[in-house]
């Protein structure tokens, strides 16, 4: 397991550094998981926690009670991450199937690709938040 000490140039609110730390742990779990379903689910969870870190920093309550996904919210508060939000939103059903143990829902390639994409997304998020 890799321990990453995260630092930010400016203080980050709402436990954003904790969320990024959790994203790193989920990514480490994804890398080590032998089953593609476990790799896929952990990689997607890593991306979700990275998105939550951005939301913790940038999102403001808007008074509406409509339920929205983290990916919808991310696209609204961080337009530069809109394509990433759409990409991970599209994989949410597959993650749910993987977490439910449906072995044929995720191939080795799907899992490996998502681990790489989640790692890249986490790096993009950290840069956007000024985290080293």
pLDDT in tens, 41-96: 999 999 999 999 999 999 877 767 676 899 999 999 999 999 999 999 999 999 99
Closest CA to 103 of 1, 10, 35, 8: 35
d(CA 14, CA 11): 10
Tokens 């400016």, residue?
10
- Judge if pTM exceeds 0.85: yes
d(CA 125, CA 49): 10
Q: What is the pLDDT of residue 6?
A: 53
Q: What is the pLDDT of residue 3?
A: 44
Query: What secondary structure letter does DSSP report for 66?
Result: -
Side-chain-facing half-sphere of 48: CA atoms under 13 Å: 15
- What architecture is the 14-58+68-129 domain classified under in CATH? Up-down Bundle (1.20)
Contact 127, 90 (CB under 8 A): no
- In angstroms, the Cα distances linking 21 to 2, 27, 100, 120, 130 are 10, 10, 25, 15, 14
Closest CA to 125 of 87, 85, 65: 85
Tokens 């032998």, residue?
34
Q: What is the pLDDT of residue 5?
A: 52
Which tops the pLDDT comparison, 6 or 35? 35
pLDDT single digits (tens) 9-48: 556 766 899 999 999 999 999 999 999 999 999 999 999 9
**Residue ranges of domains in the chain:** 14-58+68-129
Q: Which two tokens stand for residue 85?
A: 């939000």
Q: Which two tokens stand for residue 73?
A: 């919210």
pLDDT tier for residue 2 given thresholds of 50, 70 and 90: very low
């Amino acid at each position: 397991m890799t321990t990453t000490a995260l630092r930010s140039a400016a203080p980050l609110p709402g436990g954003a550094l904790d969320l990024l730390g959790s994203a790193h742990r989920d990514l480490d779990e994804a890398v080590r998981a032998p089953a593609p379903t476990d790799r896929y689910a952990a990689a997607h969870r890593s991306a979700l926690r990275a998105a939550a870190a951005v939301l913790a920093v940038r999102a403001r309550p808007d008074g509406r009670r409509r339920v929205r996904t983290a990916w919808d919210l991310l696209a609204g508060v961080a337009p530069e991450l809109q394509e990433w939000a759409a990409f991970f939103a599209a994989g949410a059903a597959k993650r749910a199937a993987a977490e439910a143990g449906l072995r044929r829902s995720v191939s080795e390639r799907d899992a490996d690709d998502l681990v790489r994409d989640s790692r890249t997304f986490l790096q993009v998020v950290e840069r956007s938040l000024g985290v080293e």
